[in-house]
Each structure stands twice: as structure tokens, then as C-alpha cells.
Chain A
Amino acid sequence: MKAVAPKPSPRRFHQASWDEPVIFELSQPGARGVLLPEVEEAIELEVGDVSSHLPVSLKRKNLPVLPEMAQLHVLRHYARLSQENLGVDLNIDIGQGTCTMKYSPKVNDQLARSPKMADLHPLQDESTVQGMLEIMWKLEQFLKEISGMERFSLQPGAGSAAIYANVAMVRAYHESRGEGKQRDEVITTIFSHPSNAACAKTAGYKVITLYPDADGYPDLEALKAAVSERTAALFITNPEDTGIFNDRIQDFVKTVHAVGGLCVYDQANANGILGITRARDAGFDLCHFNLHKTFSTPHGSGGPAAGACGVAPALVPFLPTPTIEFDGERYRLEFNLPQSVGKTRPWYGVAQNILKAYAWIMSLGADGLKEVAEIAVLNNNYLLKKVLEIHGVSMPYSKGRHRIEQVRYSWEEMYRETGVHSEEMETRVADFGTHFWTSHHPYVVPEPMTLEPTESYSQADLDEYVAILKQVAHEAYTDPEIIHSAPHNSTVHQANHEPFDNPEEWAVTWRAYKRKTK
């Protein structure tokens, strides 16, 4: 027989495009997905009119305006939407730099879905949830070992929620020392995750941002000019979003400590340094991990995720309540924490994600975690070398030096030579079944592209991804119109971003949409 023809590179991709309406538009009055059974007579006799027990204030006057649909139509709607998506299970998901899009083993999803887990309720008596409390306690012990911190809280439901909890603890610490009012400034860097500035600002702090020095490192001299008796804390990421590791980090910590400020390490993404450096060893007072980045739990497209806050001994009294304690035999929740910042969200944390992170760490062990970091860094530097072979792309700052786990590249040279923007490249890349992310706004690196290959991807994956970038770069120089008019094979389309600045031109609920389009 004849052999099957070899597949061309890059692959020929074509995505579904269903032109699917919003689910509210699919609603048919009277349609039902489920018909609830009538209440049995014996039960009705026993309990009477159940709804009469509800307080009047809780009763709806009108029915909620929910879509009315048959099961088939609901299923079809979401199945179609799922075909119009990319994700770690479909594409070589290394383009979402800073987000650490690694493989989340399916077995961990199965654990989280098992009835043992799914049927738990947070109001159960402690004696009946010893297993879950043990997992939470043990995960705390792992994170302590990984970071060198004294204690952890697993309560925050997201990375930014963890940063906010850390801001709250910083404030409680200074207030406990009578310096709450005086210390009203938080310092961060422009290449730290912007949630640091945002959370501090939300909590009422004034925010001071440092720009990098000529080599792309956070500028120590700028920090020295910024610190004062008003400094509450430094919130800093390391390595920053450029992938550059700040090897003077201890000098940063000392500079802030010298004026009485605290140092908070954003380790949302710790994928390049697991088992290699520890927050506490560099002198940090607080840190946080995103379990959905480094520790492989799914990102959940906006949640619920899980953040974990770690603190040095001096900050332990301020941890969110409750903490999980173990006396050698029994696990229990400790609510009596008089200096605690209180709750950052209901209950104890996103239990399914805590379980998945625990399972992931258990499956790897300490040596495995270090190997994760080593492979992530190796993958990144392999990718870096291959990407820089493409004409038009460059790596700003510290030329010729390695990066840790990610790189913020620049297509500025291509833009100057062809007039093609990185955001147009981004749209065109979707025609090949993948994507890349530019950077946070406003752009500091011009025409940016941020790639983070993590440990999950093979050399062949990385080569395929580079081949796509190379193809699109080639098009920019030879046939830019194909990029300007992209996408051609993808579900995504060119969106007009201008209305984003005008709240009258967008809506986040169907009700608001109806009102604003009347």
C-alpha cells in the first residue's frame, strides 16, 4: 500500500466557527431541561408548605429571567462553544507567558470529582473531615518547606486574593506596632505582576513603581530613592515577567528592612525556582503561591483558583482565620486568632484545588519538584535560542544572557521594517491553532510577546511552536496583508477594543445589555 503523505509544517489548522448566539437569545418560553417530580403526598402531609418557612424578604416577587431550554439545546450550545476554544488540552499552550500553563494530570481531576470529595460540606463536624484537614495541613507543610516560611493560609480563592490577603497582613502588622497611619506607601516594580500594585491600591495604599535599569533589573538605586519611614512594604516578583532573575534581591530586602518596611515575594509563578531558591532565605517576610500556576491545578478561566499565603514568624498572628492545627493525633480548625486579618473568603479554601496541588506534589516528591524547575528553565532557554533565530524578534535587556522560566520578547524590529504589530501577529498565530500573549498594559517592552514553555512540553512541541512563529514572521515580510486581514482559519475575530474605555458601550450582564441597547 502507499504510505500516508507526511504532514506539512506548520500544521493545517481549521477551527469550528458556529456563529453561536448568546444563551439568553436561545431561550424558548416554556422549554424545560428538567421536570421536577411532584412532592409525594406523604411528604407533603408531614412537612406542609416548605416555602412558607422562608422569610418574606428572601422570596422573589418575579421569577428569575433565566434561559428556558431543553437539555439537548443546552448541551449543543456548550459543546459548540468548547469547539471555539483553545486550551492546554488542544494547543501547545506556551504562549500565555507568566501564567505557567502546564499539564494538569487528569487523575487529579478524577480525585477531585470522586464522591468522597464532592460530597464534603464545610459545615461538617471536624471529626468527620479528618482526611481533608490532613491534606490541607500537609499541603501547608510542603509549602513551608518549599518557601522556608513559618506558616501558610490556603484560604484565598485566587492569586490576587492571596496578594490582597498579604496586603491586609502587612497593614495589620504595622497597625499592631502603632505605625499603621505613618506607613502608607507600597513599593513595587513595573515588571512585577500588576496585581501587586492593584491590591495595594485597592487596600488604600499609595503605590510607588520602580522602572528597570538599563539591563532590565529592578533598579536598586531607584528603590533607595523610594524607601522612607512611610514605606509599608515592597511587593516584588522574582524572576520578573521578563524572565530575568534579580540576583541582588537580598540588597532589595535589606534596603526595605532598614527603614522598617516588610518584603513580600510574589511567587504566583515559582516554576523556575522550585527547590532552588526560597523566599525566606532571601529575607522575605511574606510570600504567596498560585496553586493554579506552579502546582498544576487548572486555572479555571477566572476561578475558583487557589492562592496560598506564606508568612515569617512575626506575621503568623495576622494570618486569615481559621488556621489548621494538628496535635499529633487530630486535625482541627483554629478560630481563636485575636490579631487575625479575618476571612478573605468563605470557609477554608478551594478544597478541590488544594487536593489537586497536594496530589501533584505527592506524585513528584522533593526531587521531582526541583526537576520541574530545571526542565522548565531548560525548555525556556531552548525556546529562547530558537525564537531568536527568527528575523524581526529580539529579547530586550541583558543581551546574550539566559532567562529563567519565561521571556518577554519584542517584535519591534519587525514592526519598524514591515508595519506589522505584535497584536496582529497574535491574531494570525491563531490560524495555526495556537496563540501568544503580548504583555500587561501599558506596554513597557514595545511590540511584546511573552512565552513560558514550562516543563510539560516536549522538544517536538517547542519546535512546532517555533515553526509557526517563523511562518508568521515570514508572512510579515513577504505578504503582510495576510496578517492584517487575519484570522482566516480561526474562531477568533478582530475585535474593536475602543469601547472598552466607555462603560456605556459594554455590559457584563444580559440585563445590562438589554438596558443599554434599548
Chain B
Amino acid sequence: MRIGLIINPIAGIGGRVGLKGSDGLETQQKALALGAQTLSHLRAGVTLETLFPVKNLFELVTAAGLMGETAARQHGFKPTVIGPQSSGLTSAEDTRQAAREMLDDSIDLLLFAGGDGTARDIFTAVGTRVPVLGIPAGVKIHSAVFATHPRAAGEIAASFIHGKRLELRESEVIDLDEESYRAGTIITKLYGFLNVPILSHKVQNKKAPSPGREFAQMDAIAADVIESMQPGWLTILGPGTTTRAIADRLGVPKTLVGVDVYEGERVIALDAGEAKLLDLIADQPAKIVVSPVGGQGFIFGRGNQQISPNVLRKVGRENIILISLMEKLNALAGEPFLVDSGDAGLDGILAGYMPVISGYHEKVIYRVSA
């Protein structure tokens, strides 16, 4: 049993001093100059404390110095150290290199402490080839790959070490473009999916859905959407696993992070951009099916910018089908769905109450806010 641990030592460093993220060496130096504390090793430390009682049952593989080794030794572990030998400030490439080497070293589970930027680097390096779980330690936590608490991450790893099988779910890696974020505009992108262990029993509440039940719920939503399809209409599926369930039920391919177009069970276009979408809907009616992206409930303007204001205006509000698992709605804690299409007038039109399909013949009326 081998557990990998990568700490992004500068994750979250920007937040404390109001720099909106920590990407880029210049920002990090600026943050340190402003007196920022690096807290990610403290967060990872909580996870390590949870793992301490089982430390003899597994091998901890970590990266040098502040990327894991220091924290591991502080907490009484004798880790195997691999990866880049950097000290002090680290770069995104250091994270990627460490993750790649751990993958080559055939670890069974990779823990990383950081935020969305770190999640993105891990995704770039390992994709879905190894189970990954994030220890929340960054400024931006939009991705769905993080445990709810550093201790929760340790508990999942501990139960795995105790011989429990990991139940995996493909979970979204989302990141803001920090340069534009600092300049006041928000551009997020859905970068891909990591294979994240389901947060079971002690970690999330007991009846959190298992992958089997979640699949059944998605399939029920898909059945409802497919039942309402009409001949001659195009179906535009936004990114994500919930929309993919529709394609699965139809038996057609779907890109996980792209926007795809179908007519009934026929694929019209995969990974279509705005121009392609406008071309297709020029003289054919269409339904747009999207589910909220990430934890903040954005339905347009995050991760699906291909469905542009022009596309939305042409298709019309009444032809937008929102779909979501109930758990995802509840995770919003009462906050409305958000739209940020880049066209304030259109956002105003989309705002209000919209039906959201949450199961077969089950809908929720949910608020959308511009």
C-alpha cells in the first residue's frame, strides 16, 4: 500500500493578502513580501495526524522539502522522497513532475494539498489514471475534487489503508483564469475530471449517494430528458457527467468537457464551438441541456462558454433544460443558480425561476440569479 502526498507550499498564499489566488512566481514573491504565511502544510498536517495511527500499514511517498517531506517528518512519518528537489518557492511544473513520478512509482492513492490551480496541475500530470483526493488548502476551491475537511481526507485514506475498497467518482476540475480574475473579469474553465474517492460514512454523511445510486439518478434524469425529445429538434448537451448520462442512455459518444449536438440518437457535432452551434441552430430548433458546473451553481458562463449569448438568444429561454442531482442543489445551501454569459441583458432574461429536472418525472423549481 503506497499513498502519495504532494503539498503545494504556496497554495492559498495569495488569499490572505488579497491577491485572489497564488498562481505565478511574481504573485508568490509579492505575497511573501506582504507577509503571507504558507498554511497548506498545516492543512496537510491535519490529514497526516489522522493517518498517524495507521502509519505502519502503508508507505508514504512524498516530494522533497516543503512539498511534503517537511510536514511528513514533522508528524512522525519516514516518507519515501521522490520528485523535484526544489526548496522554498515551487512552480506548477514541480507539482506536475512530482505527480508524474508518483504515477510511475505506482502509488495507490494520491493526496494533494492545494486549490484549484494545484488540482489542474495534478489533472494534467495524471488524468484519471490514479485515484486522487484534494486536501482543501487553496484560495479557489471550485473543483469537486476536495474533501470537505483535511481530516476527512485522512479518514478516506485510512479506511483505504484498512482494506476498504475505494469507490471512485469522476469529479470536475475547474479553475479560474487568475490573470483575468485579478483584472476583474471571471473566466472559468472545466479542465477535466479526476477520479476521486467517494466521501463515504464518516467523511460525508452516511447516506451520501454511492456511485451506483448516483448513476441510477443520472440515468433517471436522462430518461426524462429523452422522453421529452421531439423529432426534428436538435439537442445540445453541455459538459459534465450528468449530461453524459443522456448520451450514455442514447448509446452515443459524448465529450466530457465539450458541448455536443445530437438529433435524436444521431451525433451531429462533438465538441462544438460557438460558430458551429450558431451554424447548426440557424434553421433548426434546438434544446440546450446543461447542469450546473462546479460547486457554485453556474449554469452558463462557466466551463460552457461555447453556449454563447448569441446561441442562447437564438434557442430561447423556454428551450433550456436544466438538469441536476438533488445533492448538487442541496450543496448550494439555498444559493441560486448563477448565469454570467457575458451579456447582462441576456442574464436578466435568464434570471427568475426555472424548472430543473432532478429525476424521472421529478422537477425542482429553482431560482436563477444574474
Contacts and interface: CB of A to CB of B under 8 A. Distances in A.
Q: Note whether A and B form a binding pair.
A: yes
Contact of B212 (A212, A444, A502): A502
A211 B367 CA distance: 9
Given A208-B363, A209-B364, A497 B330 contact: no
Interface string B230-253: 000000000000000000000000
Contact of B206 (A210, A423, A484): A423
A502 B205 CA distance: 18
B362 A221 contact: no
B303 to A, nearest CB: 23
B210 A498 contact: yes
Interface size on A, as a range, is 35 or more
B210 A206 contact: no
Nearest to B327: A442
Contacts of A484: 202
A206 B365 contact: no
Max chain A Cβ within 10 angstroms of own Cβ: one of B167, B327, B353? B353
A46 B366 CA distance: 74
Contacts of B207: 441-442, 497, 500
B38 interface: no
Contacts, number: 88
A498 B200 contact: yes
A501 B330 contact: no
B330 A201 contact: no
A10 interface: no
A209 B362 contact: yes
A205 to B, nearest CB: 8
A444 B202 CA distance: 18
A1 interface: no
Interface string A426-449: 000000000000100111101100
Contacts of A421: 202, 205
Given A443-B205, A498-B210, A501-B212, A201 B362 contact: yes
A424 interface: yes
B18 interface: no
Contacts of B202: 421, 424, 484
A255 to B, nearest CB: 13
Contacts of A222: 353, 365-367
A497 B361 contact: no
A74 interface: no
A3 interface: no
A446 B333 contact: yes
A219 B200 CA distance: 32
B334 A212 contact: yes
Given A201-B362, A209-B365, A225 B212 contact: no
Interface string B192-215: 000000001110011101101100
A419 B151 contact: yes
A233 to B, nearest CB: 15
Nearest to A497: B206
B127 interface: no
Max chain B Cβ within 10 angstroms of own Cβ: one of A197, A222, A225, A419? A419
A457 interface: no
Contact of A226 (B152, B205, B213, B365): B365
B129 to A, nearest CB: 25
B358 interface: yes
Nearest to A500: B207
Contacts of B218: none
Max chain B Cβ within 10 angstroms of own Cβ: one of A197, A205, A443, A447? A443
Interface size on B, as a range, is 20 to 34
B355 interface: yes
A442 B330 contact: yes
Interface string B280-309: 000000000000000000000000000000
Nearest to B204: A421
B210 A496 contact: no
Contact of B149 (A207, A221, A415, A442): A415
Nearest to B325: A442
Contacts of A438: 205
Interface string B146-170: 0011011000000000000001000
Interface in B333-370: 333-334, 352-355, 358, 361-367
Nearest to B210: A501
Contacts of A498: 167, 200-201, 210
Interface in A183-212: 190, 197, 201, 205-212
B205 A214 contact: no
A104 to B, nearest CB: 30
Contact of B365 (A201, A210, A214, A422): A210
Contacts of B57: none
Contacts of A419: 149, 151-152
B99 interface: no
Given A497-B201, A497-B207, A211 B329 contact: yes
Interface in A435-470: 438, 441-444, 446-447
A415 B167 CA distance: 23
Contact of A501 (B149, B209, B363, B364): B209
A419 B46 CA distance: 11
Contact of B364 (A208, A214, A446): A208
Nearest to A222: B365
Max chain B Cβ within 10 angstroms of own Cβ: one of A221, A447, A497? A497
B326 interface: yes
Interface string A408-425: 000000011001011110
A446 B330 CA distance: 9
A404 to B, nearest CB: 21
Contacts of B213: 501
A435 B367 CA distance: 36
A211 B334 contact: yes
Interface in A381-427: 415-416, 419, 421-424
B334 to A, nearest CB: 7
Contact of B353 (A221, A442, A501): A221
Contact of B366 (A211, A443, A444, A497): A211
B282 to A, nearest CB: 31
Contacts of B365: 208-211, 219, 222-223, 225-226
Contacts of A205: 361
Contacts of B210: 498, 501-502
A174 to B, nearest CB: 17
Given A211-B334, A442-B330, 7 more contacts: A197-B362, A207-B363, A208-B365, A209-B358, A209-B365, A225-B352, A447-B205
Q: Which 3 A-B pairs have the closest CB atoms?
A: A225-B353, A419-B151, A206-B361
11 contacts: A209-B364, A209-B365, A211-B366, A219-B365, A222-B365, A224-B353, A226-B365, A442-B209, A496-B201, A497-B206, A498-B201
Interface of B: 148-149, 151-152, 167, 200-202, 205-207, 209-210, 212-213, 326-327, 329-330, 333-334, 352-355, 358, 361-367
